[in-house]
Chain A
């Protein structure tokens, strides 16, 4: 029955190329800013100083790299799951070009210093409007495709996309409200405490609804498709989907503990953060339990290895996050490199792992050929995993050391490290290891890019799924 439906693979191919392109660019930015934090001479030019490049790194990873992977998966999986062609291929193409125009304008305008100065919502109002336009095009296309479906059941991956598309729209519109003064400058309509709370309601839920729910959708799609095994438990899907999307929204104030944010709000943020462990681990367990059904394949299959490590980091980050949201822990971790360790455990471990699995799953099918080299995929896995460990462990140590030095007092009760620069010097070795971890991680990513380029060279030669279990022949 599937054969009768014409699926638009071209739009998926276009977005897959963007995953690789924006991935390399955004990770390269990350490496530059990492080196700028140890060698200030790396601030080569006013447009390339740390304060200008950091938002290009964060926005590039979130909206460029991850965004491309999300859109590729939506355009690939949703028509297939709902057994209907994409409602409008041309609308998807308009989305694609406007989206890429946004990424280019974003990079240029951030380098020029045009910024709203709200983390992950830096882009100035004309670009915000552009984002709203293509998000709306995506939403219309998505919901019309849903309307035309011939499959009665809506699979859980689609639920997560529904929640993503609706919630991101709401968050984006509310947080970006600003009064423009010229094309390149605006002021947030909120101020001080109100602005901070609205912003972290957005910022925290950008993590939730751009880096978690769509990635869970991807996990729910690629894992069963790749292993050809059903997801372990539909009941877990139900419980963790509804509880996850309900609880996540409340947790934003954990970014503002010990600030002048109302105390009740801080407590709400902390409590809901702790509650988040359950639905997060529900998703992780459903993934793990599905994976264990195919455990003999993990040994030799890089795609499954990525999903395994990805789920491991997801579980770890979603336990670590709530712990860091406890006031007393936050008093140590806040403002330190520990936060950086936390986001990169999530970003390099969870987000990149699922996205890499997506690329390895999609490319052979989209270009109708086998992957150029499973061995290179395996190398990518090991190089990036070592990179993640160097990165995350060095930042944990750096963050805790930093937090402890800030509060250390001598016998007389006065600060043991009153000099800020002295603390910075202590952190040098950890930050060096972090930068090298980043270099290693990008090297792994480049190995994937090379592997994919070589794969596309044999496009059309026919895709035959290979059973990678030891001892079995292709």
Chain B
């Protein structure tokens, strides 16, 4: 005897077209219910102090992407005491010192990460806010952090890794199309901010932007 679901399945399983259509419906339902609500207003609570990356910081973010930093470093402080104690030991992020949606509204793409081989960087500006420390650490991580397993990036500071301001401007214009509120002046500032700077300088500038806007 066939059960009800066998009869039901028989109606589609031997018909290539019906099988494909019903499979498509089965898989689309979950996406249609869970994803579109995100685009509706109100999902992301804005944080007024969070500003878009300036030209140099954005160039640094691109370097962060190129080097795959996010494979080892998360940018996501979870709401646990042991997390906020570790990533906000001096209480510079108020009563709720964990990551908020409003902090990453200008992040195309998001770089929250999925693995912490190294420490979280969401509050880097507060935790290790010295540019000199960051430069030294990037050039040789074991100099500042003995025992670190991070790769060294001295080459990023060499002259064959100079930034191209025209490329940065084109990238900022693209992000403006996606809704990042850059003014013409913001984009023009690439000429001064990124002039004669290396990829390494840009990366340091990006790292020092992480958590800067929400610090109190």
Contacts and interface: CB of A to CB of B under 8 A. Distances in A.
B63 to A, nearest CB: 9
A201 B34 contact: yes
Nearest to B177: A179
A181 to B, nearest CB: 5
Contacts of B119: 420
Contacts of A115: 65-66, 68
Contacts of B91: none
User: Which secondary structure dominates where chain A touches chain B?
Assistant: helix
Contacts of A52: 67-68
Contact of A191 (B14, B141, B178): B178
B99 A50 contact: no
Interface in A392-408: 406-408
19 contacts: A40-B142, A115-B66, A118-B109, A119-B114, A182-B167, A187-B175, A187-B178, A188-B109, A192-B104, A249-B27, A256-B112, A258-B78, A259-B99, A265-B34, A339-B115, A406-B86, A409-B82, A424-B147, A424-B149
A187 B179 CA distance: 12
Nearest to A202: B31
B76 interface: yes
Nearest to B27: A167
A55 interface: yes
B49 to A, nearest CB: 16
Contact of B16 (A36, A149, A340, A414): A149
Interface in A111-170: 113-119, 143, 146-147, 149, 152-154, 159, 162-163, 166-167, 170
B15 to A, nearest CB: 8
A385 to B, nearest CB: 26
Interface in B67-120: 67-72, 74, 76, 78-80, 82-83, 85-86, 89, 99-101, 103-119
A272 B148 CA distance: 39
A64 interface: no
A51 B26 contact: no
Contact of B62 (A119, A185, A252): A185
Nearest to B66: A113
A101 interface: no
A120 to B, nearest CB: 11
Contacts of B170: 181-182
A163 B23 contact: yes
Contacts of A170: 24, 27-28, 31
Contact of A407 (B70, B80, B145, B152): B80
B5 A117 contact: no
B27 A260 contact: no
Contact of B174 (A118, A181, A209, A238): A181
B78 A193 contact: no
Contacts of A181: 167, 170-171, 174
Contacts of A260: 99-101, 103-104
Interface string B24-38: 101111110111011
Contact of B67 (A51, A255, A261, A422): A51
A54 interface: yes
Nearest to A167: B27
B34 A40 contact: no
A309 B146 CA distance: 42
B175 A335 contact: no
B35 A201 contact: yes
A196 B71 contact: no
Interface in A31-49: 36-38, 40, 43, 46, 49
A366 to B, nearest CB: 27
Contact of B171 (A187, A253, A272): A187
Interface in B112-162: 112-119, 141-142, 145-153, 155
Interface size bucket, B side?
35 or more
A453 interface: no
Given A37-B149, A46-B153, 8 more contacts: A37-B117, A40-B151, A162-B19, A189-B108, A190-B108, A195-B107, A247-B30, A259-B112
Interface string A171-213: 0001000011110010111111111111101000000010000
A258 B27 contact: no
Given A154-B13, A242-B26, A406-B82, A116 B68 contact: no
A179 B68 contact: no
Given A43-B151, A185-B62, A415-B85, A162 B23 contact: yes
B44 interface: yes
A163 B20 CA distance: 7
A262 to B, nearest CB: 6
A335 B114 contact: yes
A424 B151 contact: no
Given A187-B171, A250-B30, A195 B108 contact: yes
Contact of A192 (B16, B23, B67, B110): B110
A43 B152 CA distance: 8
B85 A147 contact: no
Given A249-B29, A424-B147, A147 B16 contact: yes
A389 interface: no
B136 to A, nearest CB: 15
A37 to B, nearest CB: 6
A418 interface: yes
Contacts of B141: 40
